[in-house]
Amino acid sequence: MKIYIIRHGETDANKLGLFQGWTDYPLNDYGVMLAEETAKGLGRIKFDAAFSSPLIRARQTAEIILRGTGNSCPIIFDDRIKEIHAGDYEEKHFRPEYGEINIADIKRFFEAPLSLGAFPNGESVSDVVKRTQAFLHELAEKDYGNVLVSTHGCALRCMLNEFYDTNDFWHGHAPFNCVINVVEVSNGKMELTEDDKVYYDPSLCIDRFKV
């Protein structure tokens, strides 16, 4: 089985540098374009199943990918692959110069997120690791050929954390919009075989956590 895990396309909240969390922002026009280009790059892969976070930006991304690759399988929504619930920090700028979030929390989130407690009235990164990896391990026991999973930036890093250097949660940087990771399952073992691959022009990659 091959599990294609995608981060959703860009939203206006991404563009503005806001914590989205569970706030339901749709894709913007640029995000739709990235998803469409990614679908073209994937070609005519036959997906036997598709799973998505119920948040609209992930659902729209899954719909575009399925439509663009010629698939009509239903999308199964799973709360376990939602983005981290940022609590009181939702819709606030995460860049320290705005002064909307505790600077120590921002620093820890980007440098050592697994040591950070829960966001005020929200979740911790460790909470998200537990639920996203429970989803992935359960999926790995299924008998599918190709599976699409549409999720979010922090949630994706949490889900794949077991494949990374334990000292680098963000795996170099936050995942770009519509980046694809592929986990192959064989004989009960999982292997990350495609790591942060983009199927559109790489010059279009924007690290919104830095700009």
The residues assigned a catalytic role are 8, 83
Tell me the C-alpha distance between 55 and 74, whole Å: 16
Phi, psi of 174 (to 5 degrees): -65, 145
DSSP state of 208: T
Token pair for 106: 């921002």
Rama region for 200: left / alpha / beta (φ>0; ψ in -120 to 50; rest): beta
The residue ranges of DSSP E strands in the chain, in sequence order, are 2-7, 49-52, 75-77, 146-151, 180-186, 189-197
Question: 166: helix, coil or strand?
Answer: coil
Give buried/exposed letters for 54-65 (b at 16+ CB in 10 A, else e).
Answer: ebebbbbbbebb
